[in-house]
Chains A and B, each alone.
Chain A
Amino acid sequence: MRIYGFLAKKVGDLTIKYSNFPESYVKRSYEQVYWKNPSNYPQYPKAQVARKHYRFTTNRPWTSQFRMQNDRNMHRKKVFVEPVGEWSFFKGDRVEIMVGKDKGKQGLVTQVIQERNWVIVEGLNTHLRVVGKDEKNKFPGITIQSEAPLLVTKDVKLVDPETLKPTEFEWRYTEEGDKVRVSLASSRIIPIPKTAEETIDFKSKELYIENVDKDTTGDAAVKITFAPKLRTFEMDIMEEMGIKEDREPAKSFWY
């Protein structure tokens, strides 16, 4: 009933995957809960007072910029995001731009912002931005090129690997049962690039450098030490630690 509102999923899966954080952390880092009833007390209903609407932009939900943009007294107009169903644009994809001053140019996707149906294409669809301007010290600031996001529904199209032309595509299954994107122009598979699994912490899973103090080594993590026995966890641990227990528990009643 009342919990529906905050059960709704707001942050996209790809964002969470890219952040490499547990979902619970992403949630608690961007949520603004002003009041929450104590949990596990029967007299309190499960209710909370929290910010309901967040403006998602190119700033990632766990950053301080996001927090500043969604400050407590900041309320901005609702943004309507077209439902796209299954997400099909990944980091490293080659896309062609269909609108704007870079119309017809091809580039690689560098960022995916699923909450707004946006992708950012490397070096394309840019505008000039002045940063670090200081009136007092008469510093004119530095002008940089900044990429603007593009809508995946209208502004970009995936590039066919054979014809190198923009194409429509479809999700299909291969005979091995893998789900792939298939170009409708040439029926070729458009592979999901390796860069799609890039996160903040590492380029790919194999390249992650373990923290020697804190992390378990990969070999130790996959080592099989489990041998099935007809015992509960407690019985096993008691035997391991040499705890003998011969007392019979008294008869008890559950109601």
Chain B
Amino acid sequence: MNTAMISTLLRSTITRCLRVQNVAKIIGSATTRRDIHTTTPANDLMEFFDKKKNWGETNIRVGRPWKLDELRLKSNTDLHKLWYVLLKERNMLYTMEHECNDKMRLFPNPERIDKVQESMNNIETVIRERNVAYYQLETGETGERPVEDVVNLFGLREKYEKKEYYIPRFMNTRWVRPYLENGFITSAAVKKFYRLYKEKEYNVERKAKNKDFRHVQHLLKRFPDMSMETLKAEYPNVDIEKAKRSRKARGHFMPKY
């Protein structure tokens, strides 16, 4: 979207819009609705911006995101409406953030974006749960996109997400299988790649393990009276007895034995 255009609009347009951004107004509409409604909301580009009274604000404090348990109480229609309320809010926040950056102002409370996003993710989770429940009851399957465990062309295990086609597989000459059949690694190149990849993976693990060991040695040196159970729980892969015996783990004092 052209920022300059929006900026000009921001300066020239008189805000006439009456934004319905409150979830409460929609969900609990019976309580907040006025009896006589005379003006129609002007749904123009200014809906991408926050209310004018919030423009100079340094702190716009809002509540927490919607939790999964709260969303499970809501009907599908409510979730559908709430989704669009949140979508509009997120668009507004992105616009305001962009505009603030453009005008070199501080965007107040950027955590609002994360809160809205978390609510939206939770809505998706709840809807997916409901749909999966329906399909499992009716068809015995989840109704989700089918996923298969395959070995890819590099010889690595992968989840292959299947795609939908209008012709069956044997007729589809343009489709190239993106994974190895039966998971057999026959080619020398793949075997070599896989061996080197495994070596690299092993080295990363080895280095991480050594790093943990050294860290435990230093901890033992600094905190000799530390609880060994906690240490073991924190670093399960480290041989603590071995670390204790090492020179590095000894502090600057005479040994007790």
Contact = CB atoms under 8 A, between A and B. Distances in A.
A20 B78 CA distance: 26
Contacts of B24: 215-217, 220
A226 B22 contact: no
A156 to B, nearest CB: 16
* Chain A interface residue number, banded: 35 or more
Q: How would you classify the secondary structure of chain B's contact residues: helix, strand, loop or mixed? A: helix
A232 interface: yes
A253 B75 contact: no
Contacts, number: 149
Contacts of A84: 230
Interface in B72-91: 72-80, 89
B226 to A, nearest CB: 6
A24 B113 CA distance: 10
Contacts of A230: 134, 137-138
Interface stretch (B6-14, B38-46, B58-66, B248-256): B58-66
Interface string A207-243: 0101111111101111111110011111011001000
Contact of A213 (B51, B74, B77, B111): B51
A217 B230 contact: no
Interface in B106-139: 110-111, 113-115, 117-118, 127, 130-131, 134-135, 137-138
B234 A211 contact: no
A216 B27 contact: yes
B76 A80 contact: no
A230 B28 CA distance: 26
Interface string B9-32: 000000000000111100110000
B28 A83 contact: no
* Chain B interface residue number, banded: 35 or more
B184 interface: no
B62 to A, nearest CB: 5
Contacts of B27: 216, 220, 223, 225
Given A2-B204, A213-B51, A232-B135, A222 B70 contact: yes
Nearest to A23: B114
Interface in B163-179: 163-169, 175
A20 B226 contact: no
Interface in B198-231: 201, 204, 208, 215, 218-219, 222-223, 226-227, 229-231
B227 A240 contact: no
A220 B72 contact: no
Nearest to A221: B70
A24 B168 CA distance: 43
B233 interface: yes
A128 interface: no
Contacts of A236: 75-77
B37 interface: no
A211 B109 CA distance: 14
Contacts of A153: 223, 226
A237 B76 contact: yes
B63 A213 contact: no
B118 to A, nearest CB: 5
B62 A215 contact: yes
B165 A252 contact: yes
B22 A213 contact: yes
B183 interface: no
Nearest to B201: A1
Interface in A1-37: 1-2, 4, 20-22, 24-25, 28-29
A201 interface: yes
B76 A253 contact: no
- The 6 lowest CB-CB distance pairs between A and B, nearest first, are A220-B28, A25-B114, A25-B111, A236-B76, A85-B230, A216-B23
14 contacts: A1-B204, A22-B111, A25-B115, A83-B219, A83-B231, A208-B63, A210-B63, A214-B21, A215-B22, A216-B23, A216-B24, A230-B137, A232-B135, A240-B77
Interface of B: 21-24, 27-28, 51, 54, 60-66, 70, 72-80, 89, 110-111, 113-115, 117-118, 127, 130-131, 134-135, 137-138, 143, 146, 162-169, 175, 201, 204, 208, 215, 218-219, 222-223, 226-227, 229-231, 233-234
